[in-house]
Copies of this chain bind each other. A is one copy, B any other.
Amino acid sequence: MEIMPMMLINGAFHHSITPLDRGFAYGDGVFRTIQLCGGLPMHWPLHYQKLVADCATIGIVCPSAELLMSDLQQLITLENIEENKLEVLKIIITRGEGARGYKPPAVVMPTRVLIKSAIPEYATEYAMQGVRLHLCETRLATQPKLAGVKHLNRLENILARMEWRDDHIFDGLMLSQQEVVIECTMSNLFARFGTSLITPDLSQCGVAGVTRQRILGFGRALGFNMHIENIALEKLLQADEMVICNSLFGAFQVRELAQKTWQQQSLATKIRNALST
C-alpha cells in the first residue's frame, strides 16, 4: 500500500491547486525530482541552480532557495525521519494563476509545490545485473528553445512510456525526429567506447539532468575521455558498455536494448560509487 505523499503548496499544507493555475492549464512550469536522505536534499546546490535556469528559460523568476528550504523544513518536521531514510522530493514551480489565454498575467506570482513521497523500490537485480530498455517508437520533437529544460510539457515521455507494459522493462530509449539517440523516458544515458564516455547532445531536445551533469563533471577523474555528441542508434548498439542515470537510482548498467545484449560489466558500479561520494 502506497503512503499518501505529503505536500506543501506556497508554504501551506493543503492539497489543492486551482484549475486556473497555468501549470494545470498549459503545463506552464518546471520541476525537479530530488533524493532526500534523512530529510536533506542531496546535491541541492546543483538542483537549485538547474531549477533557476529552467525557470529563466521560460521566463519565470524562481522562488529563493531560502524559501524552498523553509518549505522543506516544514515538510520534514512533521515526522521523525530516520537519519539515513531515503525519500523523494518533487518541486514544481509554475507561472501561477492566470486569466484565460496564453499571455502571462501582468504580475506573475509563481506557484511552488513540494511533494515528499516514498522512494521507489528498485529490484535489487537492477543494480546487480542491469536493466532492459525498450526502444521507443515515439520520437522527441526538436525544440531548441526548450531543450534541456525539465518543464511540465511531458506528453512525449508519456506516449513513449505507454508503449510497453512488460514490468521487466525498466525504461525506454528515445530518439529525436532526426533519428539521433537522446535519452530514456526518465533518465539520461552514457555509452562507453574504449576509454571514451559519450552522452548525447541535448541542445535540440531532451532533459539535461543533474546526475548527467555530475557524471560529466567527475568522469575524467575516473579515467574517461568525456564527450557530448550526437550518437546514431547503430553506433550506440556497438558501445562496449552503456549506463542510464537519474537522481533517484543513480546509475544502472544496460544489459538489453533492441535485441542487443551486453555482458555484465562494471561501469554503472563505478559511476554509482562516484555519485555517492
Q: Which of A104, A115, A155 has its CB near the most chain B CB atoms (within 10 A)?
A: A155
B143 & A156 in contact (Cβ 8 Å cutoff): yes
B15 & A18 in contact (Cβ 8 Å cutoff): yes
Which residue on chain B has the smallest CB distance to residue A185? Answer: B102
A108 → chain B closest CB, angstroms: 11
The stretch from A34-42, A145-153, A191-199 touching chain B is A145-153
Can you tell how many copies of this chain the complex includes?
2
A: interface residue count bin: 35 or more
Whether A107 is near chain B, meaning CB under 8 Å from some CB there, is: no
Distance between Cα atoms of A9 and B21 in the complex (Å): 14
A142 & B27 in contact (Cβ 8 Å cutoff): no
B26 & A19 in contact (Cβ 8 Å cutoff): no
Q: 20 additional contacts, CB 8 Å, given A5-B20, A21-B24? A: A9-B19, A16-B18, A17-B19, A22-B158, A24-B92, A25-B92, A25-B152, A26-B27, A26-B154, A26-B158, A58-B155, A59-B162, A95-B158, A103-B162, A138-B145, A141-B141, A141-B205, A143-B156, A145-B159, A152-B155
